[in-house]
Amino acid sequence: MTTNDSVQVSVLGLGAMGSALAAALVRAEHATTVWNRSAGKADDLVAQGARAAATAGDAVRAGRLVITCLLDDASVREVLDPLADELAGRTLINLTTTSPEQSRALAAWAADAGVAYLDGGVMAVPEMIGGPGSSILYSGSAAVFDEYEPVLDVWGTSTYFGSDAGLASLYDLALLAGMYVMFAGFLHGVAMVAPAGVTAGEFAAMAAPWQTAMTGAFQGFAAVVDGGDYTVEGQQSLEFSDVALGGIIAASAEQGVSTDALAMVQRLMRRQIDAGHGKEGFARIIESIKQPG
């Protein structure tokens, strides 16, 4: 397939992300059929050139490539289970956020139904789809990825992780875990400075370049973790970090804000300190995370 080939694609699910995915397909001049459980969601896409299907079955029959972007795994199974016979011989790409095991189970279901299957994790917000920075992670059928990569690239950078259908989901959720903890830290900082009359916008202007610079430490932490030696020179010790974090927690309390987000990090550190590893580097808290108390 060349990048100029038009593919008959059906998109099931027109929430914010599903609509963005469908719109990008329409802009790329792929014959796009759309379906959503609630009426009215397809109107804007139809105005752009998509075709609305009355039922999920009609949508499946209209496309050789079927994309699902629904609420959760349960909603995917609710929609697709009755359509197994209709899907047989077609290709299914699931971009619904699911757990790795749910993705593997759906891949097994697809195999039993004679459906070629690829799983995906969307690393973008809807507004980013088709633009700079948009990335989608895939795992499952290599044949599907190879055949449809020109279509997938319409949405953003496409990265394939192998035949294990759960790997894309695993990467997706692991990356999101880091994002949510980072966001919580940022909002904790916003809460700390608010009593001093500092607006969230003013704090964001300071925090964004600082946190961006700090991500440069990831590779250093990764090298320590992969090497398994938390005593490597140049690391900030857990004992030092505990004192530093204790000061931040005390200052937070003085500002009258919750210390829950920071206390979580301190608990991870203190489990390792209490186990006799206080002189070792901060990266050692991964041992607390890998073996929950």
CA 202 to chain centre: 28
Integer angstrom CA distances of residue 287 from 181, 201, 218, 264, 291: 18, 36, 17, 14, 6
Q: For a pLDDT cut of 90, what percent of the chain falls above it?
A: 95
Is the separation of the CB atoms in 59 and 41 below 8 Å? no
What pLDDT, in 10s, does the model give residues 160-198? 999 999 999 999 999 999 999 999 999 999 999 999 999
Is the separation of the CB atoms in 242 and 273 below 8 Å? yes
Alpha-carbon span 33 to 12, nearest angstrom: 9
Q: What are phi and psi of 51, to 5 degrees?
A: -110, 135
**Domains of the chain, each with CATH number or no CATH:** 9-170 (3.40.50.720), 199-290 (1.10.1040.10)
Region 201-228 average pLDDT: 96
Is the separation of the CB atoms in 110 and 117 below 8 Å? yes
What pLDDT, in 10s, does the model give residues 81-136? 999 999 999 999 999 999 999 999 999 999 999 999 999 999 999 999 999 999 99
Threshold 0.85, pTM exceeds = yes
Alpha-carbon span 31 to 206, nearest angstrom: 46
